[in-house]
Amino acid sequence: MSSGSFNPFEMAQAQFDNIAEQLDLEPGMRQLLRNPLREYHFLIPVRMDDGSTQVFRGFRCQHNDARGPSKGGIRFHPQETIDTVRALSMWMTWKCATVDIPLGGGKGGVICDPHHLSAREQEQICRGWVRQLARNVGPVQDVPAPDVMTNAQHMLWMLDEYEHIHGGHAPGFITGKPVGMGGSLGRTEATGYGVIFTVREALRELGIRPQDTLASVQGFGNVAQYAIRLYNQLGGKVTCVSSWDQGDQTSYAFRKQNGVDIEELVSITDRFGGIDKNKAEGLGYQVLPGDAWIEEEVDILIPAALENQITGETVLKISQRVKVIAEGANGPTTPEADQVLFERGVYLIPDVLANAGGVTCSYFEQVQSNMNYFWERDEVLGKLDVKMTAAFEAVSELAKKRGIYQRDAAFMIAVDRVARACRDRGWI
Ligand code: NAD
């Protein structure tokens, strides 16, 4: 999905070029890493419930697999573009390398709107997606997962189709499966919890107690809801959240000065993370225009909805009180905004680190699936905390040592690891 003239792939390439320059990468390596190694474009014909046939466009990009099989989600979205998928596949490579798991980066998508598709039609899209790619994905090649508007059911249909084509069981082909069908306990919470593990560490470094902080969150889907739950457990209060209103085709922010009640809000939220604004008003929430979340007088901002939200323009609306920004979403901050945040000394926890809990837990799921084993929830979340905290410390240490922005430090660690793997394999 890309809005207006914003092109996420150009942004991802600009970020990479900047790091390649700082690492003094050789020209061949730059050429290799600034584009996906492989990409697949295909059509998925589906017989609709009314008997007509509709043809959907699907994509898969495998940005780099020098460190291990490609890994990354599949999005269903009416405004999906190949450049968004390319950018996200590149960010997945950096994300897996930042948290040091033995996987590369991939991403996929289908241009479709699940709001207007029956369950059977969605199943046909899932099966069609796998039929087009069955020989190019798999446990040792490329391991998909859920992303925006896809869920555990979609993954199970895809797994079933993959196993049907190849014969036998291959639960390590895909992650985000339902628990009880090879899914890992802790996966649902993993990304949101991971965001807060890194926020906890950032606050520790800044000498601030979580219970003395307020936060504002963009989005109220999977990432946002679990981030808010864990942040509340640490004692923090969220005063504002926002979400997309499907009916009005716009976003709204929901504000409560003494803290939103997560369970109450979840009870009036649809399965796509849209909050019912009439019910919210009835419960005493102030309903504001969607971009109000960014102007909140808080200590922590958590963009957890979309890319391109903190821009050269919107960054100027951020309160001077904000000390930490944790990127739950992928690519929410543009390079112009980064410059302003760095100069202001805001502690930015970049997406490749902050939201890496999801892919880290997916990796744990894959390990369990490949071994036909099943870990307890506390074991999964405990391992996740260890991995995220270690990655946070490495990024923070490099940023301090070189006096650089946290995003640059994370990217330098990640790009260097991937470049070394390419060199060690003799690719460059
Ligand atoms: P989701 O579909 O569960 O929720 C998305 C939320 O964003 C919904 O509440 C929706 O209403 C809201 N939203 C959409 N457009 C909006 C707008 N213009 N303004 C305000 N709110 C808006 O998705 P999710 O899984 O929570 O993912 C959110 C972000 O985090 C995405 O960028 C995704 O790529 C990223 N991410 C997710 C995971 C994961 O494990 N789920 C992992 C890493 C990164």
- pLDDT single digits (tens) 51-74: 999 999 999 999 999 999 999 999
What's the number of domains the chain is made of? 2
Which residue from 71, 88, 147 has its CB within 8 A of the most atoms of ligand 1, so it is best to mutate?
147
What is residue 1's predicted lDDT score, i.e. its pLDDT? 47
Q: How far apart are CA 236 and CA 222, in angstroms?
A: 19
- Give 273 Cα–ligand 1 centroid separation in angstroms: 8
Q: Write down the mean pLDDT value for the chain.
A: 96
Question: Can you tell me which atom of ligand 1 is nearest the CA of 190?
Answer: 40
Which residue from 103, 175, 184, 222 has its CB within 8 A of the most atoms of ligand 1, so it is best to mutate?
222
- pLDDT single digits (tens) 150-197: 999 999 999 999 999 999 999 999 999 999 999 999 999 999 999 999
Same domain for 209 and 290? yes
Which residue from 191, 198, 238, 301 has its CB within 8 A of the most atoms of ligand 1, so it is best to mutate?
191
In a domain? residue 318: yes
pLDDT at 11 > cutoff 90: no
The DSSP bridge pattern shows strands 347-349 and 142-146 to be unpaired
Same domain for 192 and 151? no
Same domain for 196 and 262? yes
Question: 257 lies in which domain range?
Answer: 188-354
Same domain for 121 and 270? no
What is residue 209's predicted lDDT score, i.e. its pLDDT? 98
In a domain? residue 93: yes
In a domain? residue 7: no
What is residue 330's predicted lDDT score, i.e. its pLDDT? 87
CATH number for the domain including 159? 3.40.50.10860
What is residue 219's predicted lDDT score, i.e. its pLDDT? 98
In a domain? residue 22: no
Same domain for 62 and 194? no
**Which residue minimizes the CA distance to atom 30 of ligand 1?**
329
Catalytic, out of 107, 237, 323, 387: 107
- Give 309 Cα–ligand 1 centroid separation in angstroms: 12
- pLDDT single digits (tens) 181-240: 999 999 999 999 999 999 999 999 999 999 999 999 999 999 999 999 999 999 999 999
What is residue 148's predicted lDDT score, i.e. its pLDDT? 85
What is residue 348's predicted lDDT score, i.e. its pLDDT? 98
In a domain? residue 403: no
pLDDT at 2 > cutoff 50: no
pTM of the model: 0.93
In a domain? residue 377: no
In a domain? residue 419: no
Same domain for 166 and 241? no
What is residue 4's predicted lDDT score, i.e. its pLDDT? 54
- pLDDT single digits (tens) 303-338: 999 888 999 999 999 999 999 999 999 889 998 999
Same domain for 240 and 330? yes
What percent of the chain has pLDDT above 90?
94
Q: Which residues line ligand 1 (CB under 6 A)?
A: 147-149, 191, 218-224, 242-244, 251, 272-274, 290, 304-306, 328-330, 355, 358
- pLDDT single digits (tens) 109-156: 999 999 999 999 999 999 999 999 999 999 999 999 998 889 999 999
71 is catalytic: no
Among 173, 204, 225, residue at a domain's last position: 173
Same domain for 249 and 289? yes
Same domain for 109 and 231? no
Same domain for 158 and 254? no
In a domain? residue 386: no
Question: Can you tell me which atom of ligand 1 is nearest the CA of 293?
Answer: 20
- Give 30 Cα–ligand 1 centroid separation in angstroms: 31
pLDDT, average across residues 361-386: 96
What percent of the chain has pLDDT above 70?
99
Answer for the pair 34, 94: CB distance below 8 angstroms, yes or no: no
- Give 251 Cα–ligand 1 centroid separation in angstroms: 13
Same domain for 222 and 296? yes
